[in-house]
Amino acid sequence: MSLKRVITEYGTGNDLHGGDYTKAAVRAVQDAIHHSSLSLIRTLGIDSRTMQVEVTIGVQRPDMVASEAVKAALPHGQVVVRVVKGGLDVPDESSADVAIVASAAITVRLDL
């Protein structure tokens, strides 16, 4: 048997005020997983705890994301989080505030 990609989902999330990269990243993950159903895994009788879940988060300041908080947002599987430069920072010229936009790509692999 070998690992096969069976699900790929994408999402975006933001923190409009406060500049919280982790909050934006978690929201991007929540957006992605709300587009998906694990009916395939249930139909095949696979234990969802055995899924290999790879999460890639894109934000302008990867060092500001708490990967463990992102990992905790995934309800199933063996999760690995990677944070890379991406996303978007939108500064407010009238204040020191910045809106953070994060992107998430989630891939699920099963040993089939």
Is the pLDDT at 1 greater than 80? The verdict is no
The answer to pTM > 0.85 is: yes
DSSP secondary structure code for residue 60 in this structure? S
Pairing of β 78-85 and β 52-59: parallel
Domain range list for the chain: 3-111
User: Is CATH 3.30.1330.20 the right assignment for the domain spanning 3-111?
Assistant: yes
The pLDDT-based confidence of 102 (bands split at 50, 70, 90) is very high
What is the Cα–Cα distance from 100 to 82, expressed in whole angstroms? 18
* Strand partners for 84: 58
Is the pLDDT at 3 greater than 80? The verdict is yes
pLDDT, tens digit, 9 for 90 and up, residues 41-100: 888 888 888 899 999 999 999 999 999 999 999 989 999 999 999 999 999 888 888 999
pLDDT, tens digit, 9 for 90 and up, residues 7-46: 899 999 999 998 999 999 999 999 999 987 778 888 888 8
Tell me the average pLDDT across 98-107.
97
φ, ψ of residue 36 to 5 degrees: the values are -130, 155
